[in-house]
Each structure stands twice: as C-alpha cells, then as structure tokens.
C-alpha cells in the first residue's frame, strides 16, 4: 500500500468539534499505527532531503507539531524548537497574536530558540485558515531566520490557509 493511502486511512473526521460547524480532522490514529507514523516521517524526510537539504532547524507548533517535528529533526540530524501557547515557556520569549477559524490565540517562542540566518522548516499537523502557521512564520522572521517551507500532514484546501503564507512554500501530505 502506498504511504499516503495508509496515512489517509488513519485520518478520521469528527463533525462539530471543537465547535458546531467545524469538521475536525483527527490525526491521532496515525500515532497508534507505527507504519502510518513511519510513512509520515518518511514522506517529510524525502521532501526535505530533495527540496531543502540545507535546513538547520525544525520549528514545531504546540501541540501536534511536537509529535512530528522532533522525529523529523532526529532523522535529519538537526535540532527542534517549539512554539507554544502564551505563558507555557520559561525565560525571555517573543510572541505574536493570531486568529484561528474558531478562536483567537497568542503564540510564543524563547528568544534564543532560533538564530539569525538559520534556515528553518515549520511543522504542524494541519493547515486550516493559516493563522497558526502565519504566527509561527512571523515569530521565526522576527529572529531574522529564513523560513524555507511549512510542512503539514493535512491541508484543508477549501479554507485557503496557504494564501496567508504566500511568501513560503506549503508542503502537505493529504489535502481535503
């Protein structure tokens, strides 16, 4: 079976979560299936090695970007840095506010998480309206680092989230 097909088979939809009208794409079954999780990391690794072999750092978004980001970083032999919800990181931080499809939020990263001039990939589980990835992009750019691309397992194309990230590439494994 093709790797993408295995991944698609593991994604399920919960309607009206977390609020009415939202069709939530649940990626957690991927984590229960070792072959599916390996397929996700294999496909991300193949993309990065073929497209961005000069990457220095993976930045992952709270919380599901933490599931895939460290695994990919380890495969690539590079570091991983988290972006978290406001108030969850110790020490000096920088932050940015953003909108989700169903709420407002604030994201932050430690001031020393990314160095000026580093080539960075941002990873998360899902791209919907683009608010979270755009916030991560802005945080990385504030550190004078270069965002090479944003990687997601699932992209909800009908919400046009990639439009908010026109200045960078979005690579998604599965699109709806």
Does residue 101 have an active-site annotation?
yes
Cis peptide before 14 (omega within 30 of 0): no
Domain ranges in the chain?
53-175
For residue 9, the tally of other CB atoms under 10 A from its CB is 13
Cis peptide before 63 (omega within 30 of 0): yes
pTM above 0.85, yes or no: yes
Whether domain 53-175 has CATH 3.40.50.11810: no
Q: Which entry of 12, 45, 46, 64 is annotated as an active-site residue?
A: 64
Q: Which entry of 45, 101, 138, 146 is annotated as an active-site residue?
A: 101
For 55-105, write each residue's pLDDT tens digit: 999 999 999 999 999 999 999 999 999 999 999 999 999 999 987 766 788
Q: Which of these, 61, 51, 77, 32, lies nearest to 125 by C-alpha position?
A: 61
pLDDT value at position 102? 65
In the structure encoding, which two tokens stand for residue 45, read together? Answer: 């690794």
């Amino acid at each position: 079976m093709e790797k993408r097909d295995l991944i698609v088979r593991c994604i399920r939809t919960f309607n009206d979560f977390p609020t009415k009208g939202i069709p939530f794409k649940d990626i957690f079954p991927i984590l229960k299936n070792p072959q599916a999780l390996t397929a996700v990391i294999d496909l991300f690794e193949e993309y990065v090695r073929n497209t961005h072999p000069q990457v220095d750092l993976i930045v992952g978004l709270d919380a599901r970007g933490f599931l895939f980001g460290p695994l990919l970083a380890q495969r690539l032999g590079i570091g991983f840095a988290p972006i978290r919800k406001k108030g969850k990181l110790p020490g000096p931080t920088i932050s940015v506010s953003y909108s989700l499809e169903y709420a407002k939020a604030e994201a932050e990263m430690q001031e020393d998480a990314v160095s000026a001039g580093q080539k960075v990939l941002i990873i998360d589980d899902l791209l919907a309206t683009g608010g979270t990835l755009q916030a991560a992009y802005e945080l990385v750019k504030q550190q004078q680092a270069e965002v090479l691309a944003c990687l997601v397992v699932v992209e909800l194309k009908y919400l046009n989230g990639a439009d908010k990230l026109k200045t960078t590439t979005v690579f998604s494994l599965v699109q709806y």
